Structure 1
């Protein structure tokens, strides 16, 4: 461990930071962070006063104090972030004043706006504005006043849903609301901040891209590729990139920032490679990189990549190998110091693991084969980088998404080089579009040529991605693994590469042993498999009934009015008041009655025909009527499960 810390000194800061955030999030809330920080600072101070003959014995004291201090500091930072997203709104409509901080995103029936409230409390919410033309004129920084009842985020309660509440909390949001056209008005004021200004520039860039005369898919692709704006991408196009293993090109990150760095490094190449002029070159390149990050709206992925390249450039200015594991650890530490919640961001995890894998594994693959032909050498380098990155992130992808793109290496070999060319091709199109109003003859001649080149390149990329998606077994899906299995799989990958590097039997034995336990986890999961369950899922506004098997939904046909097959229980589904005038001398015994669709259903009338101990209200019934039916059940002493409020109703088969 000491050798590792010597090579990567920023690990001394990163490890306690990650440990503190993890403990605070999953184990215990550390309320007295200042005591921990004081203890750590005290231990570091004592280490300076240790006598010379005891310095070797007590050499651990400073390191331990630093660990404790950073641990306490990040527990404080984590608590501050939690407070920013805590619920502090009244349970009734309230007058609020807030600032739109992002570009409004168009939805089927509304516009989603991220709003930073300044009155009556300071919190960030997601406001859904009724779709109308004036919403399109809203720009980041515009202040609005509105009357609304702000609600907390809520999970649907389905067994296969992700934790939406935790996700929004980690992103700093406290609640959500819907605003009709009469419930909000712009105040005419504007608020400026670095982030808001970046979003304004980003919106203008998106509007500028509309002048490229691209079709919808090409426009959404180029917006995602260069500005990181993915909201205009269709679900089909996003799925095609995911299935082909090239979804990373849609998120502006290390690949894109690296291309931009190469462009500016070339433009400033006249400054030379040594001496003071080289330092000026690096400073100008860093400034250009941060200008690009500002243009993209300062998304986390761009900030990560820009910060890593900035640290690397500083290293190059000092005559060192700038892009190292220590630079990676430093970038991770500073990002977590700015926002500890970034640790739980999937993009943060995957991007850093990908770079870590490239820095660690790519040299191993390069040493296995060293071609002399330049073209083959470039191709092999691209292949080794792609394999290394996927080796690092595929356990994480399996854990979060349960998918793995089978032909990722082929797709990346074809797509990644084209991505760089497309970014280069954008530059003349942007310049010529900006010169169009001046009506230069040469612009009118050159623009169609470069526009045709750009459209052709985008067409090729989209066709290749869609073709790879259609190949048999292009994507292994529905293969999720647990957190423990993910950690074991990462360990196996590391030991395999370590064995090829050092040829030590211990690494091979460790990897094989972990592989055995990894297989045993699947055996245990098979033995402890949950029984098949009938589920009434929570899908607002719809009736969604099916089976839940091995953590997956299975749909089957169910009658609108009739019995749902079950081996031991009688389950009746009713979707309309067909028994409102029926009479019987002896009520039928029914274990569970599922009510859906019809808001006029009456519990009193049903009890004249059926005797049951459980009534389930599915989410197709309007909220007001569910409240009425719940009240009737309570009066009659009948257990009632409201799927819309209580989550999915499950019953074993």
Structure 2
């Protein structure tokens, strides 16, 4: 799975849109002779839909498979009409149908990637294909595969950068080899399973089938080891992702329906991307935060300012290097530097006093009023007395505390009407500076 992900071919392992799309093409070819009959197109569509849903049942009716088969069911119906834009309308219809049945699909990454990839192929691929006119069958098929891969990648690129923060630049080479192999593996798999069930599977056919799969895996492994071609830690915000999609939409429309007006819209979208870039650079320099991260049995605190994150923790160097939450924060928030540092038990962030209470349980400090209190390492304290003495604005318990202590503290905080935040349930506690201009 790691090899396929790094090679930009993880979609091969997920039984979903790509597999169902290939099976739809195979079924369309198999049932093409039915078109010569009276009402043959209707029969062909019925058989295709029937076999697609049979495949969905064989594949286990997982969410991704049901989603893909529903999408391609509508697509198969649309293809039978052979009218302009009917494919787009079929996809939009399937999208709304799935969202009516299960609205939360809208926030599913697989759902988003599937539809964006298909819309990219439908809208962008025809224009890419017109750039070069192949003369022979082989280069025609290769050019089709290249344009389809590039179009799908254009459709999903901003989203994949936003979610996964990496880009496999050898995706084109991967798809040129893997997708033909996958087609052969799907067709061969149906044949091998059928012959095996009938008890007449020749051993040489099983060996050839296994050889094709092992060679494909070896190729993917080689691609994944080309570290210099895997672009990592790409930070892309939600706003920048939207800006890029706006630019892609206007660029596509300009290429398909070229006119001076479309060029102006495209140039405005470029200005939008540049504006977001300038805004986020300014935000990166001015944003200030105090963060209590969640780490089981450990305490990790961060203070962000001036484009860097100062981190206080009690982990050894090896454990800190393996800690995923800090790199995730760095990439997601576009922070340039991570600095390990020490922190005082009492300090101020944006004029708000913050008190860290560890296992020693020391909190009786002169002139300390209304602080934010962070409880670490299960201090043995009387929280009711602490609240009465300090009158804290907020009490935070991180992952270094015992669960029994946390439950007791939460009950006490509710009785005293003091806000309580447990990072294990509520996520990281983030206090933003009121002076940050964003």
Counterpart selection for 2:206 from 451, 467, 471: 451
Aligned counterpart in structure 2 of residue 623 of structure 1, from 398, 403, 412 = 403
Q: Which residue of 2 aligns with 1:461?
A: 216
Distance of 2:162 and 2:288 partners within structure 1: 23
User: What is residue 129 of structure 1 aligned with on the other side?
Assistant: none
Query: Aligned ranges for residues 49-68 of structure 1 at < 5 Å?
Result: none
3-state DSSP of counterpart to 2:130 = helix
Structure 2 counterpart of 1:649, from 412, 420, 429: 429
Give 1:310-349 correspondences, 5 Å limit: 310-315=73-78, 317=80, 320=83, 324-349=87-112
Is 1:397 the counterpart of 2:176? The answer is no
Whether 1:288 and 2:57 are equivalent positions in the alignment is: no
2:294 equivalent in structure 1: 538
Unaligned runs of 5+ in 1: 1-236, 437-441
Asked if the contact 1:533–1:652 (Cα under 8 Å) also holds between the matched residues in 2, the reply is yes
Pick from 343, 349, 356: which aligns with 1:565?
A: 343
Give the secondary-structure state (helix, strand or coil) at the position aligned to 1:547.
Answer: strand
What per-residue deviation string (whole Å, max 9, x for no partner) do you get for residues 5-45 of structure 1? xxxxxxxxxxxxxxxxxxxxxxxxxxxxxxxxxxxxxxxxx
The 1:408–1:271 alpha-carbon spacing in structure 2 relative to 1, beyond 3 Å, is same
Q: How high is the TM-score relative to the length of structure 1?
A: 0.52
Shift of 1:366: 1.0
Return the offset for 1:425: 2.4
| Equivalent residues of 1:564, 1:572 under 8 A apart | no
Is 1:509 aligned to 2:288, yes or no? no
Helix, strand or coil: the match of 2:408? helix
CA distance in 2, matches of 1:362, 1:276: 31
Displacement of 1:406: 2.7
The farther-off stretch of 565-574 and 263-272 is: 565-574
**Change in 2 beyond 3 A, CA 1:525/1:281:** closer
Query: What per-residue deviation string (whole Å, max 9, x for no partner) do you get for residues 148-191 of structure 1?
Result: xxxxxxxxxxxxxxxxxxxxxxxxxxxxxxxxxxxxxxxxxxxx
Shift, 1:348, TM fit: 2.8
Give SS of 1:565's match.
Answer: coil
Go from structure 1 to structure 2 and tell me whether the alpha carbon gap of 1:485 and 1:531 turns closer, same or farther (over 3 Å shift).
closer
Q: What corresponds to 1:490 in structure 2? A: 245
The one of 179, 182, 194 aligned to 1:419: 182
Aligned to 2:135: 372
Contact 2:243 2:273 in 1 (8 A): yes
Q: For each residue in 1:462-494, what CA deviation from the matched residue of structure 2 results, as whole angstroms up to 9, or x when unmatched?
A: 333343333314134342222x43333222113
How far did 1:514 drift?
1.3
Deviates more, 1:563-572 or 1:372-381: 563-572
Q: Secondary structure of 1:255's partner?
A: helix
Which residue is 2:381 aligned to?
Answer: 602
How far off is 1:379 after superposition?
A: 0.8
1:474 paired to 2:230: yes
SS at match of 2:292: strand
Distance 1:639 1:460 in 2: 59
Say which structure, 1 or 2, has more relative contact order (CA 8 Å, 6+ apart). Answer: 2
Measure the CA separation in 2 of the matches of 1:403 and 1:632.
45
Count how many residue pairs are aligned between Structure 1 and Structure 2. Answer: 395
Assess, with a 3 A threshold, how the Cα gap between structure 1 residues 568 and 256 changes in structure 2: closer, same or farther.
same
More helix by share: 2
Range with greater deviation from structure 2 (278-287 or 488-497): 278-287
Once the two structures are TM-superposed, the CA of residue 531 in structure 1 deviates from its matched residue by 3.5
Change (3 A) 1:470 1:594: farther
**Does the 8 Å CA contact 2:300/2:314 hold for their aligned counterparts?**
no
Does structure 2 retain, via aligned residues, the 8 Å contact 1:602–1:629? no
Residue 172 of structure 2 is aligned to residue 409 of structure 1: yes
CA distances 1:186-217 after superposition (whole Å, capped 9, x unpaired): xxxxxxxxxxxxxxxxxxxxxxxxxxxxxxxx
Cα distance in 1 for partners of 2:16, 2:212 equals: 20
CA-CA distance at 1:565 after TM superposition: 2.1
| Alpha-carbon separation, structure 2, partners of 1:451 and 1:275 | 40
Q: In the aligned structure 2, how far is the partner of 1:262 from the partner of 1:557?
A: 56
Query: Does 2:301 match 1:522?
Result: no
Counterpart-to-counterpart distance in 1, 2:83 and 2:142: 27
Q: Do the aligned partners of 1:398 and 1:404 also contact (CA within 8 Å) in 2?
A: yes
Q: CA deviation at 1:240?
A: 3.9
Q: What TM-score results when the alignment is normalised by the length of structure 2?
A: 0.74
On the 8 A contact 2:243/2:276 being kept in 1, the answer is no
Distance 1:630 1:462, change over 3 A: same
**Cα gap change, 1:356/1:575 in structure 2, threshold over 3 Å: closer, same or farther?**
same
Change over 3 Å in CA distance of 1:312–1:629 after alignment to 2: closer
Match of 1:252 in 2: 15
